[in-house]
Amino acid sequence: MFRLTESDLNRREEYLRGSFPLLYDVELRQTLYSVFWRVGRSSFLVLLALLLLPAVLRAQSLAIAPNALDLGVVGVGVEARASVSVENLQDDALEVIVGISGDGFSALSDTLRLDGKGVSSVEVRFSATAAGEYAGELTLQVAALFKDERLAVPLQAVAVVPTLVLLPAEGLDFGAVPVGQMATAAVIVKNTGTVPVTAGRMEVADLQGPFSVEGDVGSWPAPGGETRIDIAFTPTRVGPIATKFVVTSPDFGNWSIPLRGSGLVPQAAFSPLPQVGLDFGTVEVGQRLTRRVTILNQGQAELDVGNVAIEGAAFVLGVVDSSATIAPEGRLDLSAAFEPQSEGDRSGVLRLHTSDPQAAEVAIPLAGRGQISPPRIKIISGDIDFGSVPIGGTARGHLLLWNRGGQPGVVEVAVAADEGVEFGLEQHSVLVQPKASAQVALSFSPKEAGPRQAILHVEADAERQTVRLQGVGQFFALSPATVDFGRVAVGESSSRVIEIANVGNADFEIHQLRSTSSEFTAHTSIDADSKFLLPAHSQRTLPLHVAFSPSARGAISGTLRLDGLGANEMMTLDILLKGNGVAAEIELNPAGVVDFGYEVLGEQAERTFVATNVGDTVLQVEAHPQSKEAYVAPAQFALAPGESARLTLFFTPEALGDRRGRVLLVSNDVKDRARPLEYKGHGVLADIDLAQIVEVLVSRGEQTQPLAVGWDNTPVVQKDGTKVDVAFAIPDSLRQALIGRELVVEWTRLDENYDPKGKNSTQKQKVAIYESSGGRVLAEDLNLRLSEKDNRRVRLKITTHSYPGAPPQSVSQLLEAGGWKWEFEAKPLVSFLTIRPGRDYKDKAGKTVPGQTERLIGLPGLAFAGWHNVDSPSISGIHFTAIGNVLEALSTGNSLAISLGVAVSFYKDQFLFGFGWDIYDSRPEEKKKGSQDYIMTFKYSGLFK
């Protein structure tokens, strides 16, 4: 369905105001009204038509959008298109002639046909062959009866050519590249203009020499975009190389940037020269002689060396990688070994390949001669002096042998039998390889003081040589060897002056004095700058002040160490220091934290423990409580070593919850001068007034309200169907006493005698109070609803314990379903006395006939509704009843009377007294006239229970 928008309506109104201004001129309308009434209807219409005809002829037939058309920036040779919307504002169809002027502008059609109120469009196209600004005009002419309408739309566009840049403008410099290797760089063609390139294809002129294009050239870049062209440089010769990179297009000509690069090659040099070769000379058979071959890189590129190998069974190549690279001005050392297995001349070749074009493959000749010569053993070390050695110590030395021959030789070594007690050999024979050395280990352990010597016999190849062994035996000893300070109280200090003497046979120069234990302190001025010579044979003593300050009980030992020079070597002599630290020490049994468990606030609890002095001196103790809740008795006491005392810790909690504290036992115990006696407990209340925190909530429907109960087991009656819930209020004053407590809510069904109904008559629900509990905690899932049918009598009981092991505390209350209520009963009744009073009446003859009072028993009845309380022992309700003399009807020929009335019940609804009024009476007329229309009844309802 076609709907006009608000803009369409506004445009129509402007059209009408411009075409028919007479309709919107208020004064003109008033004048026309006046003329209408003066000249008459027919004349007025003719006059009005004459007035409106020019306006109709001048009305605009078309609406165009936009009023001016800008096709924007267009690339040269690219066609741009846009549309002009044309709307027929009249109801009749129109034919519009389309015209266009201006260079580069054209229209798709020259004629446009529009239906009444129809809309169409004219497509305008623009394409230019040269850059510049262009303008034109689109004309729309309507040819119609009585008028010729012409509309014009200005046209404009700007034609530009793409702008391209070749980067980097300074060109590409690949630098120095080794010959045979490749380097790559990129040339960027960037379109910095606003129009794309459409004509022609980007091409790259063939590159000369070692330069080449990697991959596809790609397409012209979009406006603001760029195209990457990868260029590779692979030099084949040495020296600089240059060319140009040219991008061509049939429409834009050529762009170019320079390309530059340089080729490098390595240059190998060898030592020794390949023309000279490597001569190993004469080598003993079985021996190995290693020489070095050096490769130098004297070029400007890296030199690759590979495929290194040696030809010749007597020659061996050293450990080398299969390939190596030598930097410019660098070197590589190769090792070649000559290892002849037989006598005579031997030759071989060392071959290798390099990346130097002038030395691609190199061969270096190898030569050598193998020979075999007899062993010749020579003693190199000569006489051996072990120097001064302390008695009991050991000095070590070596006999050095050299085989100058070409065969291995066995050397026998021995010390003269009568002199070999202090000089020892680790081995008595040794094999010395040709052109090699061997060592024979010797030792000197003097057993006496003074110079010592021996003769060492060396025999090889039937030749015997002798070596003289000598040394001096020395010993060092200090006096006193041990210093005992005896018993010293911990924390105190005992000092002594020790006279240290050297009782050995060699002087000892003291450089440093030190103690290995912090309990022993030596006071001395000896240091590295102030040394002290302690001569042998106690010629002079060193007075030394030493203090013993024990920090703990028991035996304490240390060492006084004298570091110095003796027998031309650094050594350390020790003096043993010892003593006993004594002190008092307290021990508590049992140890650890004293746990009082749960204690009632204000009540005192006590625990007994034993304190023992396990130290060496008298123990003095004072107890200092840190809080008012606990104290120790006795507060002061003293214990001899090994003595014990029984102490009592008293605890009286003053607050609820966990209680922790300690009593400090301050004493002369050096290890713990303030021994903490820690205790803990939990303060609780003896009992809690449960009636204060328990809330009973009743609800019928959605409204819940509290129920006031006395917790005295006096039945509280609630209406049938009442839901009962239990909540616990947690006041701030009792929160600490209730946190962690468990409360048990139980309810029991009772019979008429308030005794439990059966074994499964009780239901329990436990409620725990937590630290996070709010100010009120509800017992969930209690499922207690009072009902006259099922839960008529219920005992509600709340039980809790103040703390684990405490006697239970509970409150209970009886709840009953009942009370006054309105209900439809349908309760059968039996009347044990019904009275219908008599009344006098006149018969047909006008004679007064006395009435007869009726007294009936056993009439059945029904109480069908009432407001009552079945548990009330007095007046228990008001009921609507129905009574009929059914038995009388059966015996009197269907004479039936039915009465409706109201009765008051007594004693739990069992007895009723009331009145009834007849609603149906089929008795004979004489009875009707002779008795009242109402009855009085005494009824009983308990017969049909």
Radius of gyration for the alpha carbons in the chain, expressed in angstroms and rounded:
67
Instruction: Round to whole Å and give the CA distance between 884 and 834.
Output: 10
Whether the CB-CB separation of 837 and 853 falls below 8 Å is answered with yes
Q: Residue 866, Cα to own-chain centre: how many angstroms?
A: 72
Instruction: Round to whole Å and give the CA distance between 839 and 852.
Output: 7
Q: Kindly report whether the peptide bond that precedes residue 804 is cis, defined as omega within 30 degrees of 0.
A: no
CATH of the domain spanning 268-371? 2.60.40.10
Class of 586-684 per CATH? mainly beta
Nearest to 2 by CA among 121, 122, 118, 120: 118
Residue tagged 């190769």 (tokens) = 334
**Token digits for 494?**
């005992």
Q: Same topology for domains 377-474 and 586-684, yes or no?
A: yes
pLDDT exceeds 50 at position 594 = yes
Cα 99 to Cα 115, 125, 134, 716, distances in angstroms: 20, 13, 17, 106
| For residues 260-267, average pLDDT | 83
Side-chain-facing half-sphere of 749: CA atoms under 13 Å: 16
- 3-class DSSP state for residue 714? coil
Q: Does the structural domain 478-582 have CATH classification 3.20.20.10?
A: no
The per-residue DSSP string of 425-488 comes to: ES-SEEEE-TT-EEEEEEEE--SSSEEEEEEEEEEETTEEEEEEEEEEEE---EE-SEEEEEEE
* Most trustworthy range by pLDDT among 180-189, 219-228, 549-558: 549-558
Instruction: Round to whole Å and give the CA distance between 879 and 819.
Output: 15
pLDDT exceeds 50 at position 386 = yes
Question: Where do the domains of the chain lie?
Answer: 6-58, 62-160, 164-264, 268-371, 377-474, 478-582, 586-684, 690-818, 822-944
pLDDT exceeds 50 at position 496 = yes
For 712-737, b/e burial (b = at least 16 CB within 10 A) is eeebbebebebbbbbbbebeeebebb
Show the DSSP H helices in 725-813 as ranges. 735-738
What pLDDT shows up at residue 634?
A: 94
Of 20-24, 229-233, 914-918, least confident by mean pLDDT is 20-24
Side-chain-facing half-sphere of 588: CA atoms under 13 Å: 22
DSSP-derived letter for residue 692 is H
Of 414-418, 592-596, 700-704, 824-828, least confident by mean pLDDT is 414-418
Q: Provide the pLDDT confidence category of residue 349 given band limits of 50, 70 and 90.
A: very high
More confident residue, 145 or 182: 182
Q: Does the structural domain 690-818 have CATH classification 2.60.40?
A: yes
Instruction: Round to whole Å and give the CA distance between 127 and 195.
Output: 13
**Token digits for 354?**
């390099």
* Per-residue pLDDT tens over the stretch 273-329: 888 888 888 887 878 888 888 989 888 888 888 888 888 888 888 876 667 888 888
Instruction: Round to whole Å and give the CA distance between 630 and 599.
Output: 13
CATH superfamily of 62-160: Immunoglobulins (2.60.40.10)
Backbone angles phi, psi at 733, to 5 degrees: -70, -25
Whether the CB-CB separation of 794 and 815 falls below 8 Å is answered with yes
The predicted model scores a pTM of 0.38
Backbone angles phi, psi at 52, to 5 degrees: -85, -15
Show the DSSP H helices in 563-638 as ranges. none
Pairing label, strands 119-126, 226-233: unpaired
| For residues 603-620, average pLDDT | 91
Average pLDDT, the chain: 82
The per-residue DSSP string of 629-676 comes to: TEEEESSEEEE-TT-EEEEEEEE---SSEEEEEEEEEEES-SS-SEEE
What CATH fold (topology level) applies to the domain 164-264? Immunoglobulin-like (2.60.40)
**Token digits for 358?**
């002038």
Q: Provide the pLDDT confidence category of residue 1 given band limits of 50, 70 and 90.
A: very low
Helix axes of 6-19 and 41-58: crossing angle, nearest 10 degrees:
110
* Per-residue pLDDT tens over the stretch 842-860: 888 888 888 888 888 878 8
Nearest to 505 by CA among 640, 422, 388: 388
**Token digits for 107?**
């229209």
pLDDT exceeds 90 at position 203 = no
Instruction: Round to whole Å and give the CA distance between 205 and 185.
Output: 17
Of 239-248, 617-626, 627-636, least confident by mean pLDDT is 239-248
- Strand pairing partners for 600? 684
What CATH fold (topology level) applies to the domain 377-474? Immunoglobulin-like (2.60.40)
Side-chain-facing half-sphere of 141: CA atoms under 13 Å: 9
* Per-residue pLDDT tens over the stretch 793-813: 899 999 998 888 888 989 998
Q: What percent of the chain has pLDDT over 90?
A: 13
As a dihedral over the C-alpha atoms of residue 630, residue 633, residue 637, residue 643, rounded to 10 degrees, the angle is -110
